[in-house]
Chain A
Amino acid sequence: MGINKIISVDNLSFKYNNKAVFENVSINIFQNKLTFILGENGSGKSTFIKLLVGLLDVTEGNIFLKNKEIKNYSFIEKSKIIGLLKQSHKSVFPFNVVDVVLTGLTNKIKLFPTKKDYQLAYETLEKVGISYLSEKNYCELSGGEQQLVMITRLIAQDSEIFILDEPTAHLDLCFQSKLLSLLKSLLSEGKTIISVVHDPNLAFIYGDDFLFVDNKKVFRVENGTEPWNENFIKSIYKSSFKQIDYLGKKLIIPDFN
């Protein structure tokens, strides 16, 4: 179809404390798409992400970023290709927001940050719409504000692939919509976005592609089936739910009967 695969996972197996988390996973992720990763709690979504970024080493198999083995990248090269937004982040030291964002520019800064680097940091804060937080103490911000700062940091890093681990977790409605429109604009700039998300609805409404993590595997829904197919969702989330029609897709609401 002419769509490039930007990440390629080949026969990946991963064990943690002698327990198998993934077995023989082979899957491709495509460029310039908003791909959501869905699955039950504890299925290994965050672990999968850490493997993609290189924070964890595979037990068997290989991961290719842009057709090059992840092991062969230096830290700096890798950070230009792929960047990570963690689920939550605490800082021991009370840094200024602008200094936090500056640390995202590590792969561009030679020895010490210059005026240009500072300018870029401020511009990115402006772009995300949180300039008013620039000189504030990071530790005193709310969870949502902190998340936005870390997203700004990631945007400043300007990697080709953005990996996000539950980015909407601490955000209220206002921040959620801010975030989602940010992601859309990043996509239009040519970026690839991969995100773990809790709520399948968010994924189905905004996403281009969907990966599911279940039973030590990572996979897509079968050809010809929609991801919101009732039986399929039941097999992933193993619980009962109600479905509502919405713009040709189905929304999922937990059922408590």
Chain B
Amino acid sequence: MNKTFLKILFYLIPAIVIVASVFIGSSTLFSKKEIFEYIFSGFQTSNQTLDSIIFNIRIPRILITFMIGGTLAMSGNSLQATLKNPLVCPYILGLSSGAAFGAALSLAYLTIPIQISAFVFGFIAVLLTYIISMKKNNVSTVTIILAGVVVSGIFTALLTIVQFFSDPFKLQSIVSWTMGNLHNSSWEKFKIAFIPILVGTTILYFYKWKLNAIALGDEEAKTSGINVKRDKLIILFAVTLATSSAVAISGVIGLFGLIIPHITRMLVGVDNRISMPFNFLFGGSFLLIIDDFSRSFFDFEMPIGVLTMLIGAPFFIYLMKKNNIGWE
């Protein structure tokens, strides 16, 4: 297969998925032709309903979904390489539990917006994990994962306390937020999350080659000239910044950041120079396809986290059986 052809495909397929998604939805008020004309006329139309639905609801939702899928996948890949452990995902540092607690706090008691609360507590959780596991020379993988599990436990317990004192209505909201939700997507949410995610993923992109060196081993990386402690800190910061923002606007989409990097590795190999951007594009497209599925089949809104597991997991199992992933 021609390399340039593959490269074109690399970028073309996500673009096609994004555009196709604009045509998918449960509304029966307008035809595909009308949508086509709307897009290619530069979003001009006399049909105000069409304009509202497509521009103000569908497009932000599509962009947010793609952005989040890509962020989770890229962050998951970075963490797996940095911690040299293929079983980690961005949530293992306590991020998801912290964010869920922050969201619950906002839904139940505080007047600060739910996004800010979720973002701040997600960050605090990771900070706590890092502080607990930090040693003078380096942070060992096992220590940081253990610390992450403990911090997750703490915030989950706090979350349970908030749920305990909430009435059933609030409880329902808290639970459904925790399961992941894209149905409240809007331009406003996009604007909130866009910059921190851009900053985070750009930093990770620039580390795509160094990650190879770090993934080989901390001591090997150090002796060949990499300031491993500093770089790990930067990578952790970038992952937390991007993922916390993603979770803040869309809730917890479980295991996506764990599974997609594995699928990516099966498809394009372990070299992070290729797999990092691929993770973003593939993760974004995959989540978008799942959300398209949800939008076209159901009239009500199913939490996206449920669907990623029910659709993503069998796909992953199929790939696992078909390929030898290569782990010893």
Residue contact A89 to B328, C-beta cutoff 8 Å:
no
For A98, the closest partner residue in chain B by CB is: B271
Residues 293-328 (chain B) with a chain A CB within 8 angstroms: 326-328
Q: By CB atoms of chain B within 10 A, which of A76, A95, A103 has the most?
A: A103
Contact among A55, A74, A82, A100 for B216, CB-based, below 8 A:
A100
Judge whether B10 is part of the interface by a CB distance below 8 angstroms: no
Query: Hey, which chain B residues are within 8 Å of A82, CB to CB?
Result: 223
| A143 CB to nearest B CB, Å | 14
For B223, the closest partner residue in chain A by CB is: A84
| A93 CB to nearest B CB, Å | 4
For A105, the closest partner residue in chain B by CB is: B224
Contact among A55, A56, A94, A107 for B224, CB-based, below 8 A:
A107
| A14 CB to nearest B CB, Å | 14
Judge whether B50 is part of the interface by a CB distance below 8 angstroms: no
Residues 10-69 (chain A) with a chain B CB within 8 angstroms: 53-57
Known: A94-B326, A95-B270, A139-B328. A78 touches B220 (CB 8 A): no
Residues 216-234 (chain B) with a chain A CB within 8 angstroms: 216-217, 219-227
Judge whether A231 is part of the interface by a CB distance below 8 angstroms: no
Judge whether B84 is part of the interface by a CB distance below 8 angstroms: yes
Judge whether A167 is part of the interface by a CB distance below 8 angstroms: no
Cα of A79 to Cα of B206 in the assembled complex, Å: 21
Residue contact B224 to A112, C-beta cutoff 8 Å:
no
Judge whether B273 is part of the interface by a CB distance below 8 angstroms: yes
Judge whether B106 is part of the interface by a CB distance below 8 angstroms: no
Residue contact A95 to B225, C-beta cutoff 8 Å:
no
Judge whether B176 is part of the interface by a CB distance below 8 angstroms: no
Known: A94-B270, A112-B209. A103 touches B219 (CB 8 A): no
Judge whether A106 is part of the interface by a CB distance below 8 angstroms: yes
Judge whether A257 is part of the interface by a CB distance below 8 angstroms: no
Residue contact B84 to A103, C-beta cutoff 8 Å:
no
Residue contact B223 to A103, C-beta cutoff 8 Å:
no
Residue contact A86 to B219, C-beta cutoff 8 Å:
yes
Residue contact A103 to B213, C-beta cutoff 8 Å:
yes
Residue contact B215 to A112, C-beta cutoff 8 Å:
no
Known: A93-B215, A94-B326, A106-B221. A75 touches B227 (CB 8 A): yes
Query: Hey, which chain B residues are within 8 Å of A153, CB to CB?
Result: 220, 224
Query: Hey, which chain A residues are within 8 Å of B269, CB to CB?
Result: 96
Residue contact A86 to B220, C-beta cutoff 8 Å:
yes
Residue contact B220 to A157, C-beta cutoff 8 Å:
no
Residue contact B217 to A79, C-beta cutoff 8 Å:
no
Judge whether B246 is part of the interface by a CB distance below 8 angstroms: no
Query: Hey, which chain B residues are within 8 Å of A3, CB to CB?
Result: none
Contact among B206, B225, B326 for A78, CB-based, below 8 A:
B225
Q: Mark A78-110, 1 if CB is under 8 A from B, else 0.
A: 111011101001011111100110111011010
- Could you jot down 6 A-B contacts, CB within 8 Å? A74-B227, A75-B226, A79-B224, A96-B271, A106-B226, A107-B224
Inter-chain pairs besides A106-B210, A139-B328, 8 sampled, C-beta below 8 Å: A56-B137, A83-B223, A89-B217, A94-B326, A95-B215, A103-B212, A107-B225, A109-B209
Residues of B near any A CB (own CB < 8 A): 81, 84-86, 136-137, 206, 208-210, 212-213, 215-217, 219-227, 265, 269-271, 273, 326-328
